[in-house]
Amino acid sequence: MSTVLVIASSVLGVSSVSNQLIEETVTRLRSQDPQLRFVFRNLIRSPVPHLDEDAVTALRGAEPTNHAQLTALNLSNDLIAELQAADTIVIGAPMYNFGMPSTLKAWFDYVLRAGITFRYSESGPEGLVKGKRAIVILSRGGLYSEGTAQALDSQEPHLRNLLAFIGITDVTFIRAEKLAFGPEAREQAIDAARQQIGETIREACRRAA
Ligand SMILES: Cc1cc2nc3c(=O)[nH]c(=O)nc-3n(C[C@H](O)[C@H](O)[C@H](O)COP(=O)(O)O)c2cc1C
């Protein structure tokens, strides 16, 4: 049975655009394959803590010497196991101050582990999380996929780099942008993103058939 890991990181709950688009993605995936297993990780309801000295010590391979180190190591192991068990990863990523939410960055901080999700080889770094597909839903108030603000986008390139670094290169970005450009632009952006989600999932099913 295929597994989908769904990661939500918006603080806005039910009014969040990325949360609504995650729901759309889950509904469409489920209707294509009712046997799919879904694992939900909501980074607002269950935040991953920021790195601290104990966490970094444990995640960099030292034997845990206190409770905080053991807790950090266990959390990291659990998050990585969840990722490794998934065939598809759906990530909801709002733009906060030009980048991803710090809660989502904290998840990556616990998941990028040398020797486990990536390794350094003679030819450079190699991602060890292979054979996965990701759908990343970006929600933003402004327009960053074209025009003058493109250079300010620290959200999409950062997410692309982090995923590629651990070996996830089959990534589709769904962009809901111009959400703050008035009700009409907002509605259009959400509709376009919904359409893109439908096309992405239909195309993935065609490829898999
Ligand atoms: C704390 C915060 C910071 C934001 N920073 C930006 C930003 O830098 N650029 C932008 O275009 N929109 C920004 N926005 C707007 C959000 O990207 C927009 O509201 C989006 O819909 C949030 O995603 P969500 O609806 O899934 O929560 C920000 C919103 C919040 C709450």
Tens of pLDDT, residues 164-192: 999 999 999 999 999 999 999 999 999 99
Mean pLDDT (whole number) for 100-128: 96
Distance separating alpha carbons of residues 86 and 37, to the nearest angstrom: 9
In angstroms, what is the span from residue 52 Cα to ligand 1's centroid? Answer: 27
pLDDT (tens digit, 9 = 90+) per residue, 131-148? 999 999 999 999 999 999
Average predicted confidence (pLDDT) for the chain: 96
Domain count, the chain: 1
- DSSP 3-state of 159: helix
Is residue 80 in contact with ligand 1, taking CB distance under 6 Å? Answer: no
Nearest ligand 1 atom, CA 11: 27
Predicted local distance difference test score (pLDDT) of residue 185 = 98
* Ligand 1 contact via 44 beta carbon (within 6 Å): no
Q: Cα–Cα distance between 169 and 163 in angstroms, integer?
A: 7
CA of 174 to the centre of ligand 1 (A): 15
CB of 142 closer than 6 A to ligand 1? yes
Instruction: Give phi and psi for 100, each to the nearest 5.
Output: -80, 160
Which atom from ligand 1 is nearest to the alpha carbon of 176?
21
CATH number at residue 79: 3.40.50.360
The domain containing residue 182 runs over which residues? Answer: 3-208
